[in-house]
């Protein structure tokens, strides 16, 4: 079996991930499956979650002691809530 070069992928040497990204199932994992999901949320997550909770008028969505996985799930839920509110007018 020939060794692939650094620029050649399993999809072939002409595959361009910018034009044809991998399917979401291959790149996105459920936060509950993250190896580091039980660690404290990052500063970036805390800042983003705080901002989203304020925009959604849902201060209870933010808590300073969340894990990375919990923060990610709350961020996703707030983004969904805000996009639904925006589409309703």
Domain that holds residue 70: 47-57+66-89
* Stronger pLDDT, 28 or 72, i.e. the higher one: 72
User: For residue 87, is it within any domain?
Assistant: yes
* pLDDT on residue 3: 54
* Stronger pLDDT, 1 or 80, i.e. the higher one: 80
pLDDT cut 70: percent of the chain above it: 67
User: For residue 33, is it within any domain?
Assistant: no
Q: How many domains does the chain have?
A: 1
Give which of 76, 82, 40 is closest to 58, Cα–Cα: 82
Least trusted range by pLDDT, from 1-5, 31-35, 49-53, 79-83 = 1-5
Alpha-carbon distances of 79 from 29, 39, 83, rounded to whole Å: 18, 22, 6
* pLDDT on residue 8: 47
Taking each helix axis from N to C end, the angle separating 68-88 and 43-55, rounded to the nearest 10 degrees, works out to: 30
Any bridge partners for residue 67, and if so which? 40
User: For residue 89, is it within any domain?
Assistant: yes
Averaged pLDDT for residues 46-50: 97
């Amino acid at each position: 079996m020939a060794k692939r070069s650094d620029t050649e992928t399993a999809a072939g040497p002409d595959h361009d991930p910018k034009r044809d990204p991998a399917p979401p199932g291959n790149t996105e994992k459920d936060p509950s499956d993250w190896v580091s999901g039980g660690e404290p949320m990052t500063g970036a997550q805390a800042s983003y979650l705080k901002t989203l909770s304020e925009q959604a008028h849902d201060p209870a969505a933010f808590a300073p002691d969340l894990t990375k996985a919990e923060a990610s799930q709350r961020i996703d839920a707030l983004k969904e809530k805000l996009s639904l509110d925006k589409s309703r007018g």
